[in-house]
Amino acid sequence: MKAGPKIFKKRPHTGNYILTTQCPSCDGEMETKWKTEVEETNGESFPITYQCQVCKNCGFTLLSVPQMGAYLRTAAATYQKKHGLLTANEMRHRRLALGFKTQQALSDAAPNIAIATLKRLEAGCRIQDTATDVLLRCELCALEEKQKREQMRKFFQENPWHASRETKNANAEPYPAPAWNTATTPEREEAFAQ
């Protein structure tokens, strides 16, 4: 029994597998190209542009493992953008903006978000449902508000002159109520008459 064509060959110095430069179909030369195809995700179709290996002779298309990962991430991000969901890059950016270097730190600060959910979403290969997206946004907004309050508290501690002025204004009497607002009905008529 004859073995099929070798698609991958092993690099001797690293042990990693790479795509061969030879087409498994016709033994022609493979080259890297960008292609655009229509992808169907969750029953919806949209165009995806991706990088792949294409045979110069027969047009056989092959994706390496990194190219396949990039293809899946692009498809997921396109779907998420179309439906207004958080993408992997947006999620990662918001986590880092909050000062959480790891996904575990964010999961500890927001116990309603599981670490597995964060890892899947930031990997970019999974698409969250609307309920999960709303939960993520609520938790991230709550953490952002908490961070802003902490920054304000720290600012007022470092600048006591500003804090005392704000406290003085906060304790001041509000504007006096107009006479017609607090007066009884006959007195209101007199206030309007004046």
pLDDT tens per residue, range 37-91:
888 877 888 888 888 888 888 888 888 888 888 888 888 888 888 889 989 899 8
Q: For residues 64 and 73, what is the distance between their CA atoms, to the nearest angstrom?
A: 14
Average pLDDT of the residues of the chain: 77
Burial environment of residue 91 by CB neighbours within 10 A (0 to 12, 13 to 18, 19 or more) = buried
pLDDT at residue 3 in the model: 42
Lowest mean pLDDT among 104-108, 110-114, 158-162, 168-172: 168-172
pLDDT tens digits along 68-79: 888 888 888 888
Q: Which domains does the chain have, with CATH numbers?
A: 30-84 (3.10.20), 85-166 (1.10.260)
Percent of the chain past pLDDT 90, that is, above it, reads: 1
Residue with tokens 């990662």: 92
Burial environment of residue 8 by CB neighbours within 10 A (0 to 12, 13 to 18, 19 or more) = middle
Q: Could you tell me the two tokens for 90?
A: 């947006």
Average pLDDT score over residue span 97-108: 87
pLDDT of 16 over the 70 cut: no
pLDDT tens digits along 144-157: 998 888 888 888 88
Q: How far is CA 65 from CA 7, 62, 89, 141, 181, in A?
A: 12, 10, 20, 36, 74
pLDDT at residue 57 in the model: 84
Q: Write down the H helix ranges in 32-114.
A: 65-82, 88-97, 103-109
Whether the full predicted model's pTM is greater than 0.85, yes or no, is no
Q: For residues 24 and 3, what is the distance between their CA atoms, to the nearest angstrom?
A: 12
Lowest mean pLDDT among 14-18, 48-52, 93-97: 14-18
For 146-169, letters b (16+ CB in 10 Å) and e give eeeeeeeeeeeeeeeeeeeeeeee
pLDDT at residue 162 in the model: 59
pLDDT tens digits along 19-41: 567 777 787 888 888 888 888 87
**Coil, strand, or helix at residue 113?**
coil
